[in-house]
Each structure stands twice: as C-alpha cells, then as structure tokens.
Amino acid sequence: MIPGDLHAIRETLRLAMQQLGATPSIEDFRRAYDTVFGEMLPLPAGVAFEAVQDGEVRGIWSETPDARPDRVVLYFHGGGYFAGSARSWRLMSGELGRLTRARSFAVDYRLAPEHPYPAALDDGVAAYRWMLNQGCPPAGIAVAGDSCGAGLAVAVMMRARAAGLPLPAAAYLVSPAVDLAVTQESVDRKAAVDPTGSRAGLELCTSLYLQGPSAPDRRDPLVSPMYAEPADLAGFPPVLVHVASHDVMLDEGLRLARQLAMADVATTVLVWPEYFHAFPLWYSQLEAGRSALAAAARFLDDAWSR
C-alpha cells in the first residue's frame, strides 16, 4: 500500500510530466524544475542564504545561527546536467546543512547543452579547490548530491585525487545517476512506477551532456562512475548511498555501491521501498524524506567526529 502523501506526490509529478507535452523544450524542463523545487516546495526554516560568485565559482551558501564553521557540505544539484540550479536546490542543501549544523554550499555549475562535458566537472572541482583555499579543512568537508549531482560528486572526488588534492571526510549520494550508457535493467522495469524517469529522458540527458570533440565514451568513469574500477575508488572516504525501489536508477546506485565496496570503501546503502527517484527532495511532504535526511545527518556527523 502506497502511503497517501506519496501517492499524491506521484500523481502530481505524473501530471506535471504530462503537461510538459510530447516534445518539451530544454527551457520548458528548466522552468518546471525551478517552479517545483524553487517555488512550490518550502525552504527550510531558520536558514539564511547568500549567493556568491568568486571567479569561476558560483553558488549559494546556506547557514544557520548554530552552524559550525569547521563543517561544510558541498552540494551538487540534480537535473540531468541540463536543468536545476543552486537556487532551486536551496531547499535540499539548506536542510542538509541545518540538520548537520554545518554550512552548506550549493554549486551552480554550468549546464548542457550550452556547456557540455567537462564543464560541470571542471566547475565541481574548482568549487572543491576553492573550498580548500578558503581554509576549510578536508576533514570538515562532505560532498553530497542527488541524481546527476551525486554522480558529479563521485567524479569530483576522482578528479581531485588525481590532482593531488586531499579528499573530503564523507560523501552522501541520493539516487546516483552514474550510468550515462543507460544499460541497467531497472530503467525499463521501474519506469511504470517512477513518475520522474524514463529511458527516453535518460538518453536525452546523455545526449545533451556528452557532445562535441571533448565528449568521452559513455562508460568513462568520470561521467559514469558505475564503471569505475576499484583502483579508481580506493582511498575514498565513507559513502552513504540512498536509493529507492521505484527508481529507474535503482540498479546503477546499487552497482556503484558494489564498486565502492570492492575498493574497500566504507559504504552504507539504504533502499527505501516504494519510493521514487530522489524522493528526499520532498522531505517537506514525506516522512520518509525527513527520515532519509536525518539518517544522512547522523552519518555525516559520525564521519566528521572521527
């Protein structure tokens, strides 16, 4: 039995997707993301936000009066690499910061197709390097993200390590989109119960992000971390992965967790039955979303306290 609040949200999402029509434009998608997550859903109470641009780094700080200055969540929003923004994802970065008594910084990375790969990854690494240069100790930084933002968080850690930068204390990944080759069984098996995703939608994300002369193979670990070898992931900090059983990206999240475990990374996986892709974004409406973020806060607090 699907909980009543979850059923209502699923129907809302389904109707929203139908209203986009058969051939929505990129701007239609962007407006829909900004409307739902930036306007319809409430921002966390007691959180102050400040937009920042420092050279190539753009984003939004969130902070509460009791935030510890030595703890920072570096957050990467979802949206398929072509939609979403730091502003529309303030509800998620701000709430995660509030629960952990940390400052959070939502990165406004450049979007495809205007800025295909490697723009988002370059911006993510620049934001992480900027955070270190701001005096944030790596032991006080956690990276987090949902959907493609979760995949970006993993790629940022791989690129940061290759550049000789110290790694953060922990990573929190929500419904990670880590297979731009779109090969996993759940893409088709879960499409009927996930109102947010479809094979066509995932292929669109890939085609927009991976184009031009700089585009790598779809299975390159920097765009599809699910294909990373253990050597690519060895030495990573503890990772918490949240997936949902009604998520078209269920399989790739589980596969990434397996690869992390094979690399001897302390990995915790929680599967939420009957919920859909990136459901913690709906924490203001869903008790399960609130429970997921509370679990993430406990995980991050433990990682920071080591």
pLDDT digits (tens, 9 = 90+) for 203-216: 999 999 999 888 99
Taking the model in full, what pTM does it have? 0.95
Which carries the bigger pLDDT value, residue 1 or residue 246?
Answer: 246
pLDDT at 20: 74
Give tens-digit pLDDT for 139-174: 999 999 999 999 999 999 999 999 999 999 999 999
CA atoms within 13 A on the CB side of 65: 2
Q: How many CB atoms lie within 10 A of CB 223?
A: 27
Give tens-digit pLDDT for 257-274: 999 999 999 999 999 999
pLDDT at 197: 85
Q: Between helices 90-100 and 287-305, what is the axis angle to 10°?
A: 50
Q: What is the pLDDT of the chain when averaged over all its residues?
A: 94
Q: Which two tokens stand for residue 55?
A: 């050279």
Helix (H) or strand (E) holding 53: strand 48-54
Quick one: average pLDDT of 191-207?
91
What's the gap between Cα 63 and its chain centre? 19
Does the structure show a pLDDT above 70 at 89? Answer: yes
Domain boundaries 4-305, corresponding CATH code: 3.40.50.1820
Quick one: average pLDDT of 75-97?
97
Does the structure show a pLDDT above 90 at 99? Answer: yes
Is residue 100 within 8 A of residue 73, CB to CB? The reply is yes
Confidence grade of residue 4 (pLDDT, cut at 50, 70, 90)? low
Please give the order of strands across the beta sheet that includes 239-244. 48-54, 57-63, 102-107, 68-76, 141-146, 170-174, 239-244, 267-272
